[in-house]
Structure formats: structure tokens, C-alpha cells
């Protein structure tokens, strides 16, 4: 493990059960991971399912500083999904919690287990809108315009 920390970006989503409470607990859990600290957290957003099924999603994006490797961070996020009752009965099934590792510093990686940056981050309003809030230099006006047909709203 490296002694220097890397800024990573994690997208949170949930659309089963009490999604707001689940996402808020997941934020606390991610902040409590070993060698990981929450740095910035977006507002909560409500979005219609995109390439998924079920009720609306609650979404948030968090920036974290971590000393975990990309794979160790991914595994820790997957463990939190399991803890929340995440099941994967079929592709894009409704979910109690979905945690996607969007960026890990400037790392570019393509393995069967992990691709960085996340391959579809720029196609999803539920990532772009909250990301623009916490890391505006990472999101262009053209990217936001390309997803303007996806239903999403910031929650108060």
C-alpha cells in the first residue's frame, strides 16, 4: 500500500427500500473505510432509472482521499454493497445500493474486474450532475448537454 493518498470519485445509487437512508449510511461507511476519508460530497439527487429498472434512484457523488489500491477500494465498495443487501439477479436489476468507482486519481486501467475511469461515467446524468457540483472542472458543458434528456433533480 502506498503511503500517499489518491483522490478517488465514487458514485452512489439506490432505488430499493429507504434509498435516502441507505445512501446516507453508505457515505458514512465509505468515510469509515481503512485509510480513506471523505473529502467532498454532492447534494442528493433523484433520477429516473437509466438503462435500469424499478423506481427512481437516489444518487450522490463523493470524492475521497484513499491510500487503498484501486482493486482494494473496489473490493471494499463491493463489500458495502453486500452489507446493504445488494443482489445481482440480472443485469441492471433494481438495487439496495450501487457503488461505482468512477475515477482513481489519473489511473487508466482495463482489466476484467475493473475499468478506470468508469467506462460510462460521461453518459449518465446521475453521475455528471452531482460530479459537476463537487468537481466542476471534470465536467464539460457539452457532457451535461448530452445527457439533458435524462430525468434528474437535485433534492433539497
What is the dihedral angle through the alpha carbons of 107, 103, 25, 136, rounded to the nearest 10 degrees? 140
Write down the catalytic residue from 56, 98, 124, 154.
98
Write down the catalytic residue from 95, 106, 124, 138.
95
What is the dihedral angle through the alpha carbons of 135, 138, 141, 144, rounded to the nearest 10 degrees? -80
Q: Is 86 a catalytic residue?
A: yes
Q: Is 98 a catalytic residue?
A: yes
* Residues paired with residue 12 on neighbouring β-strands, in sequence order: 60, 99
For residue 24, give Cα distances in angstroms to 6, 11, 43, 44, 139: 23, 12, 11, 9, 24
Contacts of residue 32, defined as CB under 8 A and 6 or more positions apart, other chains included, come to: none
Q: Is 95 a catalytic residue?
A: yes
Write down the catalytic residue from 86, 106, 120, 124.
86
Q: Is 138 a catalytic residue?
A: no
Write down the catalytic residue from 28, 35, 56, 100.
100
Tell me which DSSP letter residue 54 carries. S
What's the helix, strand, coil split of the chain in %, to 5? 30, 25, 40
Q: Would you please indicate which residues are annotated as catalytic (active-site) residues?
A: 86, 95, 98, 100
Amino acid at each position: 500500500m502506498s503511503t500517499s493518498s489518491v483522490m478517488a470519485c465514487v458514485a452512489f445509487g439506490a432505488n430499493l427500500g429507504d434509498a435516502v437512508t441507505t445512501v446516507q449510511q453508505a457515505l458514512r461507511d465509505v468515510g469509515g473505510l481503512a485509510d480513506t476519508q471523505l473529502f467532498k460530497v454532492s447534494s442528493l439527487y433523484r433520477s429516473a432509472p437509466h438503462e435500469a429498472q424499478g423506481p427512481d434512484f437516489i444518487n450522490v457523488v463523493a470524492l475521497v482521499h484513499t491510500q487503498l489500491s484501486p482493486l482494494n477500494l473496489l473490493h471494499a465498495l463491493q463489500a458495502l454493497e453486500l452489507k446493504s443487501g445488494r443482489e445481482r439477479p440480472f443485469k441492471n436489476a433494481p438495487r439496495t445500493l450501487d457503488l461505482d468507482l468512477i475515477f482513481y486519481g489519473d489511473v487508466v486501467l482495463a482489466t476484467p474486474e475493473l475499468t478506470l475511469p468508469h467506462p460510462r461515467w460521461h453518459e449518465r446524468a446521475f453521475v455528471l450532475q452531482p460530479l459537476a457540483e463537487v468537481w466542476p472542472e471534470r465536467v464539460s458543458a457539452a457532457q451535461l448537454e448530452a445527457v439533458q434528456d435524462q430525468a434528474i433533480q437535485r433534492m433539497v
